[in-house]
Amino acid sequence: MNMTTNWHSSIGRPSKGPRDALMIRPRQELGELIRAQAEAEGMSISDYVAAAMARALERPELAPEDPTDNKRQGELPLSKTA
């Protein structure tokens, strides 16, 4: 194993795939609203802004996955109790 390129491959969260880095400087009041809404929706600020931009550009398929979307999770088999 090449330690210079693969040492970090087993730590941290899984990759979300290729990403672009953008920096925005909204007015302070807008930034506070964005932070509050992202937290309320259980999303990172980055994911919240990316989802909002995808909707605004009418490209919802480019939005990050919604972490609160329970349709992606299967139901737990809780029919038997201890």
Tens-digit pLDDT profile for residues 13-55: 777 888 899 999 999 999 999 999 999 999 999 999 999 999 9
* Residue 52, domain member (yes or no): yes
Please state the domain count of the chain: 1
Position 56 scores a pLDDT of 97
Position 6 scores a pLDDT of 55
Q: How far is CA 49 from the centre of its chain?
A: 10
* Residue 9, domain member (yes or no): no
* Residue 33, domain member (yes or no): yes
Q: Which has more pLDDT, 3 or 78?
A: 78
Q: Which has more pLDDT, 44 or 78?
A: 44
The CB density around residue 47, as the number of other CB atoms within 10 Å, is: 18
Helix count and strand count (H, E) for the chain: 3, 0
Position 67 scores a pLDDT of 59
